[in-house]
């Protein structure tokens, strides 16, 4: 079993926050659109990371 560390808890919290943001985008109907420019986020990218909020051009804004 893994040891519980501050780093582990921080990573879990970051993931849960990302899920909350993705669910809010789903609720608002903006899930597949870039938070910066409103371009559509590629489906292939979302399959790789369902929590993406930015298109490839704005990925550095995570």
- Give this prediction's pTM: 0.81
Domains along the sequence of the chain with CATH: 6-61 (1.20.120.910)
pLDDT tops 90 at residue 9: yes
Residue 51, Cβ density class (10 Å: 0-12 exposed, 13-18 middle, ≥19 buried): middle
Separation between Cα atoms, residue 20 and residue 39, nearest integer Å = 21
In this structure, the number of other CB atoms found within 10 A of the CB of residue 37 comes to: 10
pLDDT tops 80 at residue 30: yes
Residue 62: predicted pLDDT: 67
Q: Looking at residues 10-37, what average pLDDT do you find?
A: 96
In which region does residue 42 sit, left (phi positive, over 0), alpha (psi from -120 to 50) or beta (all else)?
beta
Residue 49: predicted pLDDT: 95
Residue 1: predicted pLDDT: 64
């Amino acid at each position: 079993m893994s040891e519980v560390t501050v780093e582990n808890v921080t990573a879990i919290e970051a993931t849960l926050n990302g899920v909350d943001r993705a669910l809010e985008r789903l609720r608002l109907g903006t899930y597949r659109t870039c938070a910066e420019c409103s371009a559509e986020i590629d489906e292939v990218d979302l399959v790789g990371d369902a929590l993406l909020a930015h298109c490839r051009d704005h990925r550095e804004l995570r």
